[in-house]
Amino acid sequence: MSQIVQFTMNDKGADEILEFLLFNVNAPLEDEVNSILAQEFGNSRGLYYSIPKAIAQGKNTLSSTAGSLNISPTSITRQVKELKDYSELIEGERPYEGKRGIYRIVHPLMECWFSEIHSHYSDYIARRPDFIDKLRSNLNTYYGRAFERIAREFLIEKLNLIEAKRQWGKIKGAERGEDTYEIGLIGKGKREKTVFEFKWTGLTAAATERILYKLRQELAYMRNPPNDAKLGVVARKIDDKEFLRDAGFVVHDMEDF
8 A C-beta contact, residue 248 and residue 230? yes
Backbone φ, ψ for residue 103 (5° rounding): -110, 150
Topology, domain 160-256: Trna Endonuclease; Chain: A, domain 1 (3.40.1350)
Check pLDDT > 80 for residue 6: no
Least confident range from 91-100, 192-201, 244-253: namely 91-100
Handedness of CA 13, 14, 18, 21 (dihedral sign): positive
Kindly report the CA angle at 130 between 126 and 132, in degrees rounded to 5?
A: 60
Q: What is the pLDDT of residue 10?
A: 59
* pTM confidence score: 0.85
Question: Of 13-27, 77-91, 134-148, 164-178, which range is least confident?
Answer: 13-27
Residue-wise pLDDT for 98-121, tens only, equals: 888 999 999 888 888 899 998 899
Give the three-state DSSP class for 33. helix
Report whether pLDDT(242) > 50.
yes
Summarize the confidence of residues 235-250 as an average pLDDT: 97
> DSSP state, 42?
G
pLDDT for residue 31: 82
Domain ranges of the chain: 3-151, 160-256
How far lies 243's CA from each of 22, 161, 192, 210, 230, in Å? Answer: 41, 25, 22, 15, 16
Predicted pLDDT at 3:
47
CB neighbour list of residue 31: distance below 8 Å, 6 or more residues apart: none
User: Per-residue pLDDT tens for 146-200?
Assistant: 899 999 999 999 999 999 999 999 998 888 888 999 999 999 999 899 999 999 9
CATH number of 3-151: 1.10.10.10
Instruction: Say what the pLDDT of residue 100 is.
Output: 84
Q: What is the pLDDT of residues 32-77, one digit of tens each?
A: 777 877 887 776 668 888 999 999 999 999 999 999 999 999 999 9
* Type of residue numbered 114: F
DSSP string, 111-165: HHIIIIIGGGHHHHHHT-HHHHHHHHHHHHHHHHHHHHHHHHHHHHHHTT-SEEE
